[in-house]
Each structure stands twice: as C-alpha cells, then as structure tokens.
Amino acid sequence: MTAIGIYGSMGRMGQAIVQELSGLGARYAGGADAKDDPAPVAQAADVLVDFSAPAALAAHLTAARAAKTPIVIGTTGLSSAHHAMIDDAAADIAVLQTGNTSLGVTLLAQLVREAAARLDADWDIEIVEMHHRHKVDAPSGTALLLGAAAADGRGTTLADSSVYDRAGVTGARSEGTIGFASLRGGSVIGDHSVVLAGEGERIELVHRADSRAIFARGAVRAALWLAKQPAGRYAMAEVLGL
C-alpha cells in the first residue's frame, strides 16, 4: 500500500484526506502541522500531500527534496516566489501543484480552455466564485486555475488579461479581458461559474462542490499517480490523461 504523509494534517482538508485513504488503497504515513518538523513525515512517506499554508511551503519542499519524496501541493494563495520554489524543487522530485484537486474541476478547466480557444475575443469571459465566510484568499485558487485555462485557450496569460477589481466609474469592459468576482458567506464549500457572454447569447460552465470529500479523493488519486512519476512539475490534468 502506498504510504501518504500529510502536511496540514489537522486542518479540514487534512482530516478529510485521512478519512479517504483506506478506501482508495493507501495508508497514512503520518502528518505534520505548523510547529512540527516536516522531515520525519517526508522520510516515512512514499508521497506527500500539502494542504497547509503558503508560509510553510519552503520548509515542506526542503524536507521533500531531502527525502526524495514526491509532493502534491494543494495549498492556495501562492505567490510567484512560491511557484519559483516549486519549479526549483521539480528538478529533483515529482511535484504536482494545483488550485483544486477535484476531478470535476479538472475536467471543467479543460472545457473552459476548449471553449475559450474556439470562441472569438468578442465573447467576454467572467469567473464568479463563492466560498464560506472563513476563506482568507480571493479569488480562490480554483478561480485562478479556471482563469488560467481560459487565458491559455485564448493564447495569452492571466497576468496580461485579468481584471480583479471593479468599483466606481470603470468605463466600458475591455475586449479580451477575463474578469473575476468573489463572494463570501455561510458554509459554501465552493461554487465556480465561468460565463462566456457573446452578443445575444451566453454559455455558463458551472461546478458546485457539495462535499469536501471530493477534494480529498482527488488529492489521494493525484498522490497515488504522482508516486510513480519521475522528477518534474505536473498538473491535475495529467492525472486524468488530459
């Protein structure tokens, strides 16, 4: 059985992953949290899953590299500096980083990419996401993942096309931009809508998460797949063969 170690093991996602392990042909290799040394878990595990915090990523990557243990990174709110760390670590170990481990969201991103590629720039793209009141980052990692898929389909980058803030007199919408709106409230696990609006018609691609277990199952599936891969940087789409 593949042994999976968890960084952020006492968090909501960490606990959900522990609950899913045995049913998916894996076993728990142990966990580490904010004040714990990440090295023992990295040494005991065949593959790691990280749902902790951006501030802990450097230490977790260092431990994973020292132990030569692959790592799935589901932590959101990462900066460009964090992504540079991941790129560097991928030279030594297999790393899969994603804003969402749901298999449904992974497929949705592929559909968004395809739609954006086939529709002209006069189709406006807007991404709306809603999460529970306790979520601390916005837009969500999933919204950014979907925006990146739309930008890729358009042959551009999210950095060059994204619009995150509309307030006051903003003027008309600029063609080719990708807009984001974030809603927070209640206990919503995660709702995401990608709206492609043309003249006289509109397409909406939607994913709603009804249980945190879908992310846990996807994370375990990603970990089991990653454990067999050589060093490099990977994405959830590759887990599904997309």
- Digit-coded pLDDT (tens) for 149-190: 999 999 999 999 999 988 899 899 999 999 999 999 999 999
Instruction: Give 174's DSSP letter.
Output: P
Known catalytic membership, residue 60: no
Query: Which of 60, 132, 134, 135 is flagged as catalytic?
Result: 135
Rounded Cα–Cα distance for residues 242 and 235 (Å): 10
List, edge to edge, every strand of the sheet that includes 71-73. Answer: 26-32, 2-7, 47-50, 71-73, 94-97, 232-234
Q: Is the pLDDT of residue 40 over 90?
A: yes
CA dihedral 67, 72, 75, 79 (to 10 degrees): 80
Reported pTM: 0.82
Nearest to 43 by CA among 55, 56, 30, 25: 30
Q: Which residues pair with 232 in a beta bridge?
A: 94
Residue type at 169 in one-letter notation:
V
CA 22 to chain centre: 23
Active site residue 131: yes
Look up residue 15 and give its two tokens.
């606990």
Q: How far apart are CA 132 and CA 12, in angstroms?
A: 13
3-class state of residue 214 by DSSP: helix
Q: What is the mean pLDDT of residues 69-88?
A: 95
CB under 8 Å, gap of 24 or more: what pairs does 54-63 form?
A: 54/78, 54/79, 54/82, 56/7, 56/8, 57/82, 57/85, 57/86, 58/85, 60/7, 61/85, 61/86, 61/89, 61/95, 62/38, 63/38, 63/39
| Structure-token pair, residue 143 | 């919204």
What CA–CA distance (Å, rounded) separates 21 from 19?
6
- Give yes or no for residue 77 having a pLDDT over 90: no
Q: What is the average per-residue pLDDT within 121-135?
A: 96
The residue annotated as part of the active site, out of 60, 82, 131, 192, is: 131
Mind giving me the DSSP string for 104-166?
HHHHHHHHHHHHHHHS-TTSEEEEEEEE-TT---SS-HHHHHHHHHHHHHTTS-HHHHEE---
ω into residue 139 within 30 of 0, thus cis? yes
Partner residues linked to 206 by β-bridges: 193
How much of the chain exceeds pLDDT 90, in percent? 88
pLDDT of 22 > 90? The answer is: no
